[in-house]
Amino acid sequence: MNFRDAAIRLVILVAILAAWQYAADRVIGTFWISSPSLIAERLWLLHRNGDLYWHAEMTVWQAFVGLVFGLVVGVALGLLLGAMPRVASIVDPFIMALYSLPRVALAPLFILWFGIGLLSKVVMVFSLVFIVFVLNTMNGLREIDRDLISLMRTMRAPWPYVIRKVQLPSVVPWVFAALRISIGLAMIGSVLGELLGANRGLGWYIEDAGGKLDTTGVFAGLVALMIVAVLANEIVKLLERWALGAGRRQGVE
């Protein structure tokens, strides 16, 4: 990102915040939409007393654990189905049925089955991100040049070598694309679980603030969630650059 793009983004952000502050003070009222100044003050208070990190830690941990399980299981299943096209074609309708199912509707069942603790939130996150990794991994395998695979087989290359040198490098960009999509889904799953049953977390804080008609608290929780998601996305970007760069260097060697 160059300086000009950063400056444009900053100007847009300042304009949005200024318009919001004006609307809150002069047009709509802070009871309905709070204001940037009040939200910043609340976030600073939550930072000073440690509540911000106490709640954010739980939300992020739930999202992270569910995301990791979804990545591992989803990529593994995607690789397995990619290696067995006939099986993949048979189970494809079932995968799409699960993908089309609004997993949010399963949240009450997860609470009923697993309680209001960590497990129900992790399962909720897993259910939202798992199929994304499966589908992206399978699509990545389909994009591989079949002539290259045939050439490897003709040269009697061991199958582990083909996986390491051809399949995995082709799948990595698709996995990272799925990971970037799944960050938001993981946060949704974690927060949704907290809204249905929890005693801490940013989702719980938002629900508690809403029950008290504390608009500023609701917006403070939402801003905190947005900041966490943006930071997580930036971390994934750095990991993607590192992984793709390492893959290119390995390919050259």
Return the pLDDT at 221. Answer: 92
pLDDT tens, position by position, 200-250: 889 899 989 988 889 999 999 999 999 998 898 888 888 878 877 655 555
Task: Return d(Cα 134, Cα 225) in angstroms, integer.
Answer: 26
Q: DSSP of 102-119, one letter per residue?
A: -GGGGHHHHHHHH-SSHH
If asked whether residues 40 and 88 sit together in one domain, one would say: yes
Mean pLDDT of 96-122: 83
214 lies in which domain range? 35-252
If asked whether residues 42 and 18 sit together in one domain, one would say: no
If asked whether residues 98 and 168 sit together in one domain, one would say: yes
pLDDT tens, position by position, 65-90: 999 999 999 988 888 887 777 888 88
Q: Judge whether 176 and 242 are in contact, CB under 8 Å.
A: no
Q: Among positive and negative, which fits the CA dihedral 66, 68, 71, 72?
A: negative
Return the pLDDT at 41. Answer: 92
If asked whether residues 165 and 154 sit together in one domain, one would say: yes
Return the pLDDT at 110. Answer: 84
If asked whether residues 10 and 58 sit together in one domain, one would say: no
Return the pLDDT at 86. Answer: 84
Residue 252 predicted with pLDDT over 50: no
The structure tokens listed for 108 are: 């009450």
pLDDT-above-90 percentage for the chain:
27
Mean pLDDT of 59-63: 92
If asked whether residues 2 and 117 sit together in one domain, one would say: no
If asked whether residues 71 and 120 sit together in one domain, one would say: yes
This prediction has a pTM of 0.82
pLDDT tens, position by position, 3-26: 787 888 889 999 999 998 999 888
If asked whether residues 2 and 65 sit together in one domain, one would say: no
pLDDT tens, position by position, 151-192: 666 666 666 666 666 777 778 888 888 888 889 889 988 898
If asked whether residues 124 and 11 sit together in one domain, one would say: no
If asked whether residues 99 and 111 sit together in one domain, one would say: yes
The number of domains in the chain is 2
Q: Judge whether 243 and 172 are in contact, CB under 8 Å.
A: yes
If asked whether residues 24 and 40 sit together in one domain, one would say: no
pLDDT interval class at 61 (50, 70, 90): very high
Residue 253 predicted with pLDDT over 80: no
If asked whether residues 129 and 196 sit together in one domain, one would say: yes
Phi-psi region of 90 (alpha: psi -120 to 50; beta: other; left: phi over 0): alpha
CATH number at residue 87: 1.10.3720.10
